[in-house]
Structure 1
């Protein structure tokens, strides 16, 4: 059975797409079999992880993609950095707890909610964004 058929049957589409460049890289770097296999499987895992993340973000129905790194804490000094860092650790997800962000319009609640949703999606969790009105 040909290598391409095996990769197809094993559903390793990401490895299949980059196999030639991986082989060339392995040859140039003089990788042993174990190192090459590690690189090949890492390529497949990375592609699957990225595809899963994109799927989770699409299903989340986020109004936009924002990260915590993009949040301007100097714009809203009343927000406690320590609490945001703790929330970014996603412990509340593991404990099945809710997080409610309250405040007047324009203070960054939606940005923080979206950023936490992105962080959770990156960690492999399914998320759904919904405004209070829609809920």
Structure 2
């Protein structure tokens, strides 16, 4: 019998069928009810395994949620807007989401919350920092390995790139970053977090022309959300001293609306 389960790929049903049969005899299920419960058990088991595979592949460093975000600490941020984003229409339309703001204001929390929501809805996700991404591409020892690594970042429905602005890229790394954004342009969504205004990306990439071309693709279909608030990590040390508030992140002229409503 076990061979039949494997041939039909009913591995989840094989594990639960004895209990289902026992319950069916005890509660006198009809054949239709038993069949429905058996198929449901198989499908539920497959979804749990698929979710586990997606979660492992995503390399998400934490389980964050929109409900777990303290919007009262960041009053300039629209909770309604973030909950609208959590319906994941931006993933389905290939729209990018960019969080701009000082360190500690919740950019990574919100990006992880949206990424976890995408995973739960069956989307493929990959999380990386810009430094990790640049190093992974630059360290490819031959063209075949480079293509393989680039595909890894192109394939997911949603790519999260955290900590843009903390590391200045080399010329080669900047070109790899540009090529990746170009490859995903209008094909897959990117969530990006940055503590650096767009006007400073020329310094980040070491090339003003390349930065302009990259931002043109990144921002063409994008929700740009500026978080103009204080650091969560510093709030216990700051107390009520408003003079320690961080300065607002600035969006350059010509960038899309921040979407903060």
Task: Tell me what 1:64 maps to.
Answer: 62
Provide the aligned C-alpha RMSD in A: 1.6
- Cα distance in 1 for partners of 2:73, 2:38 equals 45
Instruction: Give the unaligned 5+ runs of structure 1.
Output: none
How far apart in 2 are the matches of 1:16 and 1:53?
20
SS at match of 2:123: coil
Q: CA deviation at 1:70?
A: 2.5
Paired positions, count: 133
1:5 Cα deviation (Å)?
A: 2.5
Structure 1 outlier segments of 4+, above 6 Å: none
* Partners of 2:77 and 2:36 in 1: CA distance: 43
Match of 2:4 among 6, 26, 38: 6
Deviation per CA, 1:57-78: give whole Å up to 9, x if none: 1111111222223223233333
Greater relative contact order structure (CA < 8 Å, 6+ sep)? 1
Shift in CA distance, 37/103, structure 1 to aligned 2, threshold 3 Å? same
Q: Which runs of 5+ in 2 are unaligned?
A: 134-261
Instruction: Give 1 or 2: higher helix fraction.
Output: 1
Flag the structure with larger Rg. Answer: 2
TM-score, normalised on structure 2? 0.48
In 2, the alpha carbon distance for the partners of 1:22 and 1:47 equals 14
Query: How many Å apart are 1:116 and its aligned residue?
Result: 0.9
